[in-house]
């Protein structure tokens, strides 16, 4: 794969690349793999290898929990003809004081708790996925070691 | 007909927020009753935006239309899922989680959930991507290809033209007559800013010692931002690399107008507004051939596949010093810009609404 991509048909790609090549002679690039913070030395993670097979079967449940953690105050309705809207209005006025100063703060409190639980569960799920990955890697290593040991034992015989 | 736009948060200067305001303006001009609802509302624009809680009763109105802007995992997605009115999803893309996993667990979780949830938002009348790259992600997530469209981000070009220059910053940038490299966007791992800094190090040490790099963008991911600063110090570049953080619009315009090259090493962009800003301000673009970047650039700008630091540094130098090459790049970029100007975006929005017969509903009433 070429390092430089030139798509503009009005530019002379060959000429540009030749000019660059001529300029590069004798210049040296430092070994960046040994310079700067350790975490920045590696290449940016490969998308495919890291995005596959990471989701647990619980994921859909977490999604449901996360998006429905916010409680809702139910709306008053009435099916009664003509006086229905009056009944609704009356109940709204009647409940306004307790709802605004008592029920709504409790709803908010509960929504916050629900949200925190959802986040905590998600973090636990992430942690478990990471541990599972570690266990899988260790199992693979053990299998490899076992086959080496078996091969050694066979060759000794 | 009423159209409600719903978004997790709105703040001034943000590209998505601006896009929403521009759509609102068009919808109102076309005769719709248009409202915007958000959960997080910045106080500077709160007059135009209604709190999220007020949208709930409206979602039961079958004749209304809900447009949900999806750019992050948020519980408001539930409102979109359960709405009984007609629904359009506008997908602004979510960065794949793995870019953040080593740097910010919370962000990584949000991205992972956000991308996962996307598969569950398929039940809608139309799904729109800002780019074809985003539209294809929608199709990959299971959306019906026949119910997808592309509407580019509305750009505030009038505002850009009217913005004053920050003269103090301009004097500072042009004081030493140095060659200025610019990159714009929040400091995030998918942007691979470490690669830009290394490339700049090669450029400065091997080609042009009188050069300066400006990394403009918010530094909300503290761990990554700190390591980027550590890298700058390790390479002894602290006097020639500036990280001003998030800047005002006037300052941003000044950075664009006083730089010699725009560079992006980003591995993942759903659209990349800074590329369009560079086209607008006549700054040659040197960017990675990845995600939506080649689509946004079309035939304009120069792309790189990987660094090749010396080769890439020489290319950057040529783009800055070869006047004919530079002019040609800027000219092609200006042509490409036409596809993203407000009139073009407006036409695409019209087409998209026509796709679900929303405009004809208006004409019939």
Q: For B17-32, how does the pLDDT look when each residue is reduced to its tens digit (9 = 90+)? A: 999 999 999 999 999 9
Of B109, B307, B314, the CB nearest to A23: B314
| CB-CB under 8 Å, A62 with B113 | yes
Whether A51 shows a pLDDT value over 80: the answer reads no
What's the whole-number mean pLDDT along residues B173-181?
89
Does the structure show a pLDDT above 60 at B263?
yes
CA B293 to chain A, closest CA, distance in angstroms equals 13
CB distance B187 to B306 below 8 Å: no
Confidence of residue B206 (pLDDT cuts 50, 70, 90): very high
Q: What are the tens digits of pLDDT across the range A52-84?
A: 344 555 666 777 777 777 777 776 777 788 888
> Mean of the pLDDT values across residues A15-40?
90
Residues 6+ apart with CB under 8 A from A64: none
Residue from B102, B327, B317 nearest B199 by CA: B317
pLDDT tier for residue B87 given thresholds of 50, 70 and 90: very high
Q: Does B228 touch chain A (CB under 8 A)?
A: yes
Q: Which tops the pLDDT comparison, B68 or B78? A: B68
pLDDT(A43) > 80: no
Residue of chain B whose Cα is closest to the Cα of A4: B304
C-beta separation of B257 from B281 below 8 A: yes
Q: From the CA atom positions of chain A, what is the Rg in Å?
A: 32
Residue closest to B349 by CA, chosen among B83, B126, B161: B126
Q: What is the pTM of this model?
A: 0.82
Per CB-CB distance under 8 Å, the chain A contacts of B97 are 51
Higher confidence at residue A119 or residue B204? Answer: B204
Using the predicted structure, report yes or no on whether residue A45 has a pLDDT greater than 60.
Answer: no
The model's pLDDT over B127-160, given as tens digits with 9 standing for 90+, comes to: 999 999 999 999 999 999 999 999 999 999 999 9
Q: Which of residues 129-188 of B touch A (CB under 8 A)?
A: none
Chain B partners within 8 Å of A30 (Cβ): 201-202
CA distance A63 to chain B (A): 7
pLDDT band at A94 (very low <50, low <70, confident <90, very high): confident
**Calpha distance B363→B312 (Å, rounded):** 54
């Amino acid at each position: 794969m070429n390092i430089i991509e030139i798509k503009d048909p009005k530019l002379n790609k060959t000429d540009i690349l030749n000019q660059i090549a001529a300029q590069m002679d004798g210049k040296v690039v430092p070994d960046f793999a040994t310079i700067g913070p350790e975490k920045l030395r590696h290449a940016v993670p490969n998308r495919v290898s890291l995005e596959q097979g990471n989701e647990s079967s619980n994921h859909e449940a977490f999604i449901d929990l996360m998006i429905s953690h916010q409680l809702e105050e139910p709306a008053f309705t009435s099916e009664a003809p003509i006086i229905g809207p009056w009944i609704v209005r009356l109940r709204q006025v009647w409940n306004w004081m307790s709802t605004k100063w008592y029920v709504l703060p409790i709803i908010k409190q509960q929504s916050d708790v629900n949200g925190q639980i959802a986040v905590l569960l998600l973090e636990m799920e992430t942690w478990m996925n990471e541990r599972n990955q570690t266990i899988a890697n260790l199992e693979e290593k053990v299998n490899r070691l076992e086959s080496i040991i078996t091969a050694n034992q066979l060759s000794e015989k | 007909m009423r159209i409600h736009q719903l978004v997790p948060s709105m703040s001034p200067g943000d590209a998505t927020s601006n896009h929403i305001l521009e759509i609102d303006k068009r919808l109102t001009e076309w005769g719709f009753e248009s409202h915007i609802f958000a959960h997080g509302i910045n106080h500077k624009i709160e007059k135009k935006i209604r709190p999220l809680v007020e949208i709930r009763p409206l979602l039961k109105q079958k004749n209304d239309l809900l447009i949900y802007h999806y750019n992050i995992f948020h519980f408001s997605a539930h409102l979109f899922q359960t709405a009984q009115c007609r629904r359009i999803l506008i997908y602004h893309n979510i960065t794949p989680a793995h870019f953040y996993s080593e740097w910010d667990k919370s962000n990584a979780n949000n991205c992972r959930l956000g991308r996962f949830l996307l598969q569950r938002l398929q039940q809608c009348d139309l799904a729109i991507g800002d780019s074809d790259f985003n539209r294809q992600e929608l199709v990959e997530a299971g959306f019906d290809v026949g119910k997808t469209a592309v509407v580019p981000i509305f750009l505030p070009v009038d505002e850009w033209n009217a913005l004053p220059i920050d003269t103090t910053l301009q004097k500072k940038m042009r004081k030493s007559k140095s060659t200025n490299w610019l990159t714009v966007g929040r400091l995030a791992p998918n942007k691979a800013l470490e690669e830009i800094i290394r490339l700049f190090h090669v450029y400065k040490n091997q080609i042009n010692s009188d050069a300066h790099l400006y990394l403009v963008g918010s530094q909300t991911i503290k761990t990554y931002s700190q390591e980027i600063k550590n890298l700058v110090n390790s390479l002894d570049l602290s006097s020639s690399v500036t990280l001003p953080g998030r800047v005002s619009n006037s300052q941003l315009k000044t950075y664009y107008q006083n730089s010699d090259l725009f560079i992006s090493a980003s591995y993942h962009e759903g659209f990349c507004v800074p590329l369009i800003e560079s086209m607008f301000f006549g700054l040659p673009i040197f960017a990675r051939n990845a995600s939506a970047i080649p689509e946004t650039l079309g035939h304009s700008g120069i792309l790189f596949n990987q660094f090749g630091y010396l080769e890439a540094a020489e290319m950057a130098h040529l783009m800055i010093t070869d006047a004919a090459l530079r002019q040609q790049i800027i000219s092609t970029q200006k042509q490409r810009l036409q596809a993203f100007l407000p009139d073009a975006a407006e036409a695409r929005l019209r087409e998209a609404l026509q796709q679900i017969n929303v405009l004809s509903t208006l004409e019939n009433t």
